[in-house]
Amino acid sequence: MPKIVVVVVNWRAWPSTQRCVAALRASSLQPDDIFIVNNDSTDGPLPNLSATIIHSHTNLGYAAGMNLGVAQAISCGADYVLALNNDAEVAPTAIEQLLHSALKQDTALTGGRIVSPVSGKTEWLSAQWPQYLFKGRQYDNVPPKRLLLSGAAMFMRRDLLQQRITLHGWVFDPSFFMYQEDIDLCLFAHKHGFTCAVAPQAIIYHQAASNFGGAFNPRTQYYTARNRVSIANRWLPFSLKVLFHMYYLPAQLILRGVNRGKWRQAARLATLHGIADGYRGVTGMCQRYHS
């Protein structure tokens, strides 16, 4: 049986992390270990978790925090690493389904069905490149070489992780800090001949950005807007890159104007701030959104 290690990054959200670990421990296929990267959390005493705690004395961000746990998992001999958001909860058979799909389809990256625990609706199954940057994220029957997976729960094979580390020194690009690092990894996998796939029966319950107040909070909007510019600059061919840059700012302004009921003023300003920083080449943590 392949060795499976789950890596979870925690930042000031121990109750969510406890629920995440409890769901993992209720799985039909138990992971060999669970690594919790404690990302400079100061929100109370360390809870009693049936997991290995890796401490970071600074807030590394999601990407670099995940890298810390993945490196430890590889050094412990993991054949597969499940990168899991700490506000996600796996269904009892999710890990079993992810492994079955990865072995059957010989995939280096395997994603599950991300479902809202509130509505029960599918929030993410797959996305298609490069349409993801222009039209949103949900597509059916995505060609394998254009498939994008959600980093809320990403089942990653050892050889892909090792090649990424060999070439770049990390698995998730720490310059993103948080958000879009999963898209970047999928595109790297495609470029280097690895296969990605979705296991629709692998259910992961996840409410987007629930630890930060929901998907329309300023922190999420800032990093998403900024890092999309980075993704476009890194991965789009020249003609589509020109089209993206003509489209992106006007589209964001129109979207936030039309949907004013969803968007608080702070979130709208954070989006514009993120776009501006994306074009200025700003990377890493923006302290304004981590007070």
Query: Which domains, from first to last, does the chain contain?
Result: 4-212 (3.90.550.10), 218-289 (no CATH)
List the Cα angle 98/88/209 in 5-degree steps. Answer: 130
Give the separation between CA 219 and CA 224, rounded to whole angstroms: 9
**183 pLDDT higher than 70:** yes
**pLDDT confidence tier of residue 265, bands split at 50, 70 and 90:** confident
Alpha carbons within 13 angstroms on the beta-carbon side of residue 4 total: 23
- Token readout for 130 is 């490069």
The per-residue pLDDT for 48 is: 78
Percent of residues, the chain, with pLDDT higher than 90: 73
Rounded Cα distance, 85 and 248, in Å: 28
- Using an 8 Å Cβ cutoff, are 4 and 35 in contact? no
Q: Please give the Cα distance from 228 to 21 (Å, whole number).
A: 31
For residue 6, give Cα distances in angstroms to 3, 17, 144, 196, 238.
10, 12, 25, 19, 38
* Res. 213: pLDDT tops 60: no
- Could you read off the pLDDT of 99-136 as tens digits, one per residue? 999 999 999 999 999 999 999 999 888 899 999 998 76
What pLDDT was estimated at residue 10? Answer: 94
Query: Between residues 216 and 64, which one has the greater pLDDT?
Result: 64
pLDDT greater than 60 at residue 259: no
Consecutive H or E run containing 266:
helix 265-280
Q: State the Cα angle at 243 between 239 and 249, rounded to 5°.
A: 150
Lowest mean pLDDT among 12-21, 173-182, 224-233: 12-21
Mean pLDDT (whole number) for 240-267: 76
Average pLDDT, the chain: 90
Does residue 263 have a pLDDT over 80?
no
Q: Residue 212 — very low, low, confident or very high, per pLDDT cuts 50/70/90?
A: low
- 3 state SS of 108: coil
- What integer is the mean pLDDT of 251-266? 66
What is the predicted pLDDT for the residue at 204? 98
Six-digit token pair at 100? 């079955």
61 Rama class: left (phi>0) / alpha (psi -120 to 50) / beta: left
- Mean pLDDT within 130-144: 77
pLDDT over 70 at 261, yes or no? no
Label the pairing between strands 153-157 and 109-115.
Answer: antiparallel
pLDDT band of residue 142 (cuts 50, 70, 90) is confident
Of 22-36, 61-75, 213-227, 245-259, the poorest mean pLDDT is in 245-259
**Residue 231, CA distances (Å) to 78, 109, 210, 278 in order:** 29, 19, 24, 10
Listed residue (234, 238, 215, 226) closest to 286, CA to CA: 226
Query: Which region, left, alpha or beta, applies to residue 149 given φ > 0 means left and ψ of -120 to 50 means alpha?
Result: beta
Does residue 211 surpass a pLDDT of 70?
A: no
pLDDT of residue 209: 56
The model's pLDDT over 38-57, given as tens digits with 9 standing for 90+, comes to: 987 666 656 778 899 999 88
Q: 4-10 and 80-85: which strand pairing? A: parallel
Amino acid, single-letter form, for residue 273? H
pLDDT for 153 = 98
- Residue 68's pLDDT is 97
Q: Is a pLDDT exceeding 80 seen at residue 221?
A: yes
pLDDT at site 256: 61
